Every structure is written in C-alpha cells, then in structure tokens.
Amino acid sequence: MTYIGRFAPSPTGPLHIGSLMAAMGSYLEAHAHSGRWLLRMEDLDPPREMPGAADAILRDLETLGFQWDGPVLYQSRRRAAYEDALARLGAQVFPCACSRSEIADSAVTGIEGPVYPGTCRDGLAPGKPARALRVRVQPGELSFEDALQGPIHQDLAQDIGDFVVRRADGWHAYQLAVVVDDAMQGVTHVVRGSDLLLSTPRQLHLQALLGLSHPIYMHLPVAVNTAGEKLSKQTGARPLDLSQPASALWQGLDLLQQSPPQSLRHASIDDIWTWARQHWHPSSMSGLSSVEIA
C-alpha cells in the first residue's frame, strides 16, 4: 500500500505556528513512509475566510521548503462531488428546520455543545422551511485507535446527535467534505491537530455509510496560548516571521517534541529538513494533546 498523506489548511488567515506544526507533522510522517503528500485548500467557509489567505499559505509553504505532490485541490470547486455524496446517503440524510437557538433551548449538552434533539428526524413541522441537512446517527460506541492519542471511544447519538452535512447557508459541512475528499484523493493516513480528534468518529460514521475505507489517524498536539486556547486568528496567533524560515521550522520541530539542536536554528532550510527526516520520531508526542506557546 502506498502511503498517501495530506495537509488541509483552511484559508481563514496566514500560516501560523499551529498550522505549521500540522504541515510539518504530516509532511515528515509521509516522508518517513516514502509516501506522497497532498495539499488541499479547505475553502468551504467564505464567511470565515480572509481574502488572499489561500495564496499566502501556498507561498509560505514554498518559502519553508515544502514540496507537495500533484496540484492543490480546492474544496470550493468540489461542490458537485459533495452533492453526489448527499444523494448517495439518501434517507440517512434529512432536512432540518431548527434554528441554533431552538436546538440550544431543547437540548442536552454533549461534547461540542447541544446534542441535536431529533426534532426534524421524522419530518418537518408544517409550515417550517428546511434549513440545514443532517445525517442520522445511531446509539452505540464508535471506537478507533489513534496513532498518538490511543484508543478513542464516542457514542455519536449521546455525544453529538444527528449532525449537519450541509449548512443552512448552502455550504457543505467540513465533516462531509473532508470524508469525500480524503477518499477521492486516496488518503491512507490523516495527520492533523488534536483539535479534530473528536470529529473523527463523525468522519468514520460517514465513511461507513458511504462504503469508504477508513484512513489511519494520528492527532498531533495543538499549539495553545497561555490561556489554554488553540492558536488561531481569533486567539491572536501571529503570522509566521518568514524573514528567517529556518527559525520557524526549528520552532515547529521543537513544539513537535523532536528536540532539534540549537545549532540548527540558523542553518539552511535544506539542512533543517535533512536533520528532521533523519530524526523524526513521532512517538515522543504520545498522549500529548497540546503544547503551550508563551
């Protein structure tokens, strides 16, 4: 089996140290398996996107010496494939008329906010227009073994509820798009931040319903600020300083627990990548779900 990995940034802002960690981890893991490394732009959420960010991310990755295989896949151009998947899901998908506040009012709290109470599962109330599309979940434990975080168990019915696959604004949900594209691109191994660990059972569920194979998952520690918040544009992540690309790569390796020698801090990016390939040992991140950035 050829290893196929990928990096799938959302263009909500420029690359920062948190996204660089996911890029480096997935890249080094693909190299360690003599695999391919694909790039996918997850530009499916225009309200949250920043104009120009997708191009800026590609430029920054190039400056940092990343080389991806094949053309970049843009999710904004894949809407027909997501519609096709919805059609294949058939009766597993149902229209939902509930507003966010209606769900919040009537629901039990799960692991990501209110659990969908099933209001529209058996049809819409008369006169209520459909908003989002949801997929049905069944009670019962879903489990998988994460390569770093160990065994993960989740009961989708209890913890999440029937979840959105096409949003009220017409855009397809991340959970659906990621499953359709990982399958279409032949991705065998998903390496990404542990903020997505609890999304994985939803993706396993959709893969099973669509008859797709399950990739192997490795969830890296995510970078958090001193308040414990995941670094993002909203929590004040600074864009990478690429006047010294080697220093950014060095910090990425350091946060990925690879203990790069100080002497590499100002080395050439080629030397850093050579060292990183030779010394890559993801096991030093076992069980680590976050790392703090001062």
Binding site for ligand GLU (CB under 6 A): 8-10, 42, 178, 192, 196
Residue 236 or 261: the one with the smaller Cβ distance to ligand GLU is 236
Taking the complex as a whole, the smallest distance from the CB of residue 94 to ligand GLU amounts, in Å, to: 25
Nearer residue to ligand GLU within complex by CB, 8 or 89: 8
Q: Which is nearer to ligand GLU, 98 or 135 (CB)?
A: 135
- Give Cβ neighbours of residue 196 (< 8 Å, ≥ 6 apart): 219
Could you tell me the smallest distance in angstroms from the CB atom of residue 84 to ligand GLU? 20
Smallest gap from Cβ 232 to ligand GLU, in A, equals: 9
Output the smallest distance, CB 106 to ligand GLU, in A.
30
Nearer CB in complex with ligand GLU: 124/198:
198
Hunting for tokens 């959302």 — which residue is that? 10
Nearer of residues 9 and 221 to ligand GLU, judged by Cβ: 9
Locate 72 and state its tokens: 């970049």
In the complex, minimum distance from the CB of residue 236 to ligand GLU, in angstroms, rounded to a whole number:
17
Distance set, CA 109 to CA 94, 95, 236 (Å):
22, 22, 28
Give the nearest distance from C-beta 44 to ligand GLU in angstroms.
Answer: 9
Cβ-Cβ contacts under 8 Å for 108 (sequence gap 6 or more): 114, 115, 117
Between 233 and 265, CB nearer to ligand GLU: 233
Instruction: Specify the residue, 177 or 267, whose C-beta has the smaller distance to ligand GLU.
Output: 177
How far is the C-alpha of 191 from the C-alpha of 289, rounded, in Å? 13
Give min distance, CB of 124 to ligand GLU, in A.
Answer: 31
